[in-house]
Amino acid sequence: MHDVIKEPQPQTDWAKIRADFPILNQEVHGHPLVYLDNAATSQKPRSVIEALKHYYEYDNSNVHRGIHELSNRATAAYEGARERTVKYINARSSKEIIFTRGTTEGINLVAQAWGTKHLKAGDKILLTELEHHSNIVPWQLLAARTGAQLVYIPVTGDEGLLDLSQLDQLLTKEVKIFAFGHISNSMGTINPIKEFCARARELGVITLVDAAQSAGHCPLDVQDIGCDFMAFSGHKMCGPTGIGILYGREEILEDTPPYQGGGEMISRVQFFETKWNVLPHKFEAGTPDISGAIGLHAAMDYVDSVGRENIFKHDQELASYACSRLAELGHVRIFGPPLGGTPGHPHSERGGLVSFLLPEVHAHDVVTMADQFGVALRGGHHCTQPLMRKLGIQSTARASFYFYNTREEVDRMIDAVAKIHEFFSRGL
């Protein structure tokens, strides 16, 4: 993966890093907390919590139009967060960085503002069967508005890989936008996003990368990836909830009408017409989440101080370890790319999560019992209902890792899963 920010730390002190997260130091149901629900949201380091506190205690004010000192500070901090994001994903300029509420809003912005202008009946929208609901439903709404048609790259099976042999057939000139996740939140699959973007570009197809599961876990370089849009959330990468980023290539954003109307996004308002503000403010109507942006800035600094390549390796090692320990238990159905690769699939790497099912035990029951042992998992369809239905299941239990998790925590999870299996096997 391409390196954006210099990766330090020849030797990482993971225990010291873990101590930066106050919330992890607690007991749940009489056991030390093992937090393995990071794909849903990550925990926050002290530096992020302090940045929010400092802002509200010293600098709180509205941005951009104020002339007084506090407004200057708030504006500088808010725009500073935008500049930090430019570096974080190697965008060309801050005009390409739009603050949103999160990945979902970013995708909705593209589907509504860009999509409504550029799509018409007969056009195609290409997605994959791995997508999260947030990368399906906005496109369904767009299709209903415009008469465009949805097309999906199929998933092969439990291994959660996309059937790339169909890519040439599906990615055609009729496709106006190709939107796909970088790392699947329910299978852990890492998709070949750079290849997707290159193939799309040859045909003039616009691309959107849903980077919700990768932005805090691996280096991202939008110029190297070659995408037109990228959306991600702050809260899955140590930042606060309610703030996210939409990256858009400048010339495409210029050719996109506003998403919402209001203050901030205008340059001149008359009673019957309005001239839009310049990028990126055209897409930020109303008072933004200023503290959220400041918290996200602190989160990016924190994540990069640990090092994203470092984090990626750490998450992957934990996921591999969890997969092999689950396999040792026998009778566990494990989803996602198998360890050691899949023949015929050059792109079969797994990110830092593992979805699984025990025979005869519903995922909700697994998660409720694991919680009694202090182990926080997630059970459900993970907002990927169409994928679940295709695999003939309703739900899975999922453990998702971050850099503060340890092998001992994986062992604790395995112990819990073994006990759960034993408990539910009684009387069978």
Partner 1 sequence: MDFEELYQQVILDHSRRPRNFGELPGADVDIQADNPTCGDEIELHLKFGADDKIEGVSFTGSGCSICMASASMMTQKLKKKSRAESSALMHTFHDMLTSEQETEPPAALGDLGLLKGVRKFPLRVKCATLAWHALEQALETKPASSGEGA
Fill in the amino acid letter for 24. Answer: L
Q: Is 383 a catalytic residue?
A: yes
DSSP β-bridge partners for residue 208: 179, 229
36/303 with CB nearer partner 1: 36
Virtual torsion, Cα 371, 374, 375, 380, nearest 10 deg: 20
Smallest separation (angstroms) from partner 1 to the CB of 400: 17
Q: Indicate whether 365 belongs to the interface with partner 1 (CB under 8 A).
A: yes
Q: Which residue has the tokens 């001992």?
A: 408
Smallest separation (angstroms) from partner 1 to the CB of 365: 5
Residues 25-44 that bind partner 1 (CB under 8 A): none
Smallest separation (angstroms) from partner 1 to the CB of 406: 25
H helix runs in 55-165, sequence order = 69-89, 103-109, 116-118, 137-146
- Residue 202 CB partners (closer than 8 Å, separation 6+): none
Among 92, 120, 145, 364, binds partner 1 (CB under 8 A): 364
String marking each residue 370-409 x if it binds partner 1 according to CB under 8 A: --x------xxx---x--x-----xx--------------
String marking each residue 251-280 x if it binds partner 1 according to CB under 8 A: ------------------------------
Among 190, 363, 377, 397, binds partner 1 (CB under 8 A): 363
Q: Indicate whether 413 belongs to the interface with partner 1 (CB under 8 A).
A: no
- Residue 179 CB partners (closer than 8 Å, separation 6+): 107, 110, 125, 126, 127, 131, 135, 139, 207, 208, 209, 210
- Residue 253 CB partners (closer than 8 Å, separation 6+): 95, 96, 98, 279, 280, 282, 283
DSSP run (H or E) holding 150: strand 149-153
205/363 with CB nearer partner 1: 363
222/375 with CB nearer partner 1: 375
Taking the C-alpha atoms of residue 16 and residue 43, their distance in angstroms, rounded to an integer, is 15
325/382 with CB nearer partner 1: 382
SS3 92: coil
Q: Indicate whether 116 belongs to the interface with partner 1 (CB under 8 A).
A: no
Q: Which residues are catalytic?
A: 383
Q: By CB under 8 A, name the binding residues for partner 1.
A: 360-365, 368-369, 372, 379-381, 385, 388, 394-395, 423-424, 426-428
